[in-house]
Amino acid sequence: MTFSSFLELSFWIPLLAAGVRVATPLLFASLGEAVSERAGVINVGLEGMMALGAIVGFLVAYWTGLSWAGLLAAAAAGLAASLIFGFLTIFRGADQVVTGIVMNILLLGLASFAYASIFSSAHVVAQLTAIPIFRVPWLSDLPIIGRPFFAQSPIVYVVYLLIPVFWLLLEHSQWGLSVRAAGENPEAVDSAGINIWYLRLQAVAICGAMAGLAGAILAVIQIGAYVDGMISGRGFIALAIVVFGGWRPWRVAAAALLFGVVDAFQLRLQVSGVPIPSPFLIGMPYILTIVVVAFVAGRAGYPAAINKAYPLRHFSRKARKLLPADSAAVHPLPQENS
């Protein structure tokens, strides 16, 4: 590969196409993480939840032969794991980072244990049938962007839809307003009469389901097999993408695409046989992650209440007995101008 080949479209178009493909699972994970962090809960357990999604998604798809069933099961598994995480951090006040690390260790171990015990006797690697790409009529014929963006696996089009959905949800809905407030000043949310704990749990559940999906996309759709360690730090890269994208869906999408393109770029360099040792090339996305964390995260405005548990109110049984029995014993005062 000569230097001049970098300047040709025939190099950039396939690179962009590969970048979009690599970015897709990253974007699933980081969109969910953005919601959770904006609610004030940092889910460091993303890596483990993606691994869980990968194994569950792979197993279900393998047994049923239906890839969509695998994705669904992976989302459910990720959600279940995130509920455990949410219970510990939101309702029991456990440190979010420590709990996240524990979840990683637990889930990564669980995934490889499950795979090893189920396929211990098999001599060949279990494989799924590949999912064909779907060319969007007309759009895929557009010059330059047509092939990278509109001749992809159908799941890529789902993520195109999810970006505006998350943007609307987070930036323009009443629910998103509460979520953003919960990450900045949970007291304000509580005194506004919103159930702050349940709200945060919802955000964490979305994050878990998205992380499970991200893992399953990798295993079921993109690779068609489960390999131990296949997540290989993508959960942590997603954490950096969220920071780099400033917790806003569109920018998070752009950041994910950048990471995807960098990863695709280093793969191409490896194949082309440039005289750079491959460990340095493989390390490129991780080096980019470190750069982002070092130079962007320091200045970025993390949600103020991140990793701060909001204490539950506990009322004694004796105190509760003094209250009227009927659940709606609230006297609404007359409204003005009635």
Q: For binding to other proteins (CB under 8 A), which residues are involved?
A: 168, 172-175, 177-178, 180-181, 184-185, 187-195, 301, 304, 313, 315-316, 318-320, 322-324, 326-336, 338
Shortest approach of other proteins to residue 234 CB, angstroms? 30
Which one, 124 or 325, has the nearer CB to other proteins?
Answer: 325
Kindly state the smallest distance separating residue 198's Cβ from other proteins, in Å: 11
Work out how close the CB of 336 gets to other proteins at its nearest, in angstroms, rounded to a whole number.
6
202: nearest Cα among 90, 311, 280, 71: 90
Short-list 20, 28, 69, CA closest to 49: 28
Distance CA 109, CA 9 (A): 43
Q: CB 289 → other proteins: shortest distance, Å?
A: 26
Q: Which residue has the tokens 């524990």?
A: 102
Of residues 138 and 315, the one with the C-beta less far from other proteins: 315
CA angle (15, 236, 234) in 5-degree steps: 40
Residue by residue, DSSP assigns 128-163 as PPPPPPEEPTTGGGSTTTHHHHHEE-HHHHHHHHHH
**324: helix, coil or strand?**
coil
* Number of residues that make up the chain: 338
Residue whose CB is less far from other proteins, 64 or 173: 173
- How near is the Cβ of 181 to other proteins at its closest, in Å? 4
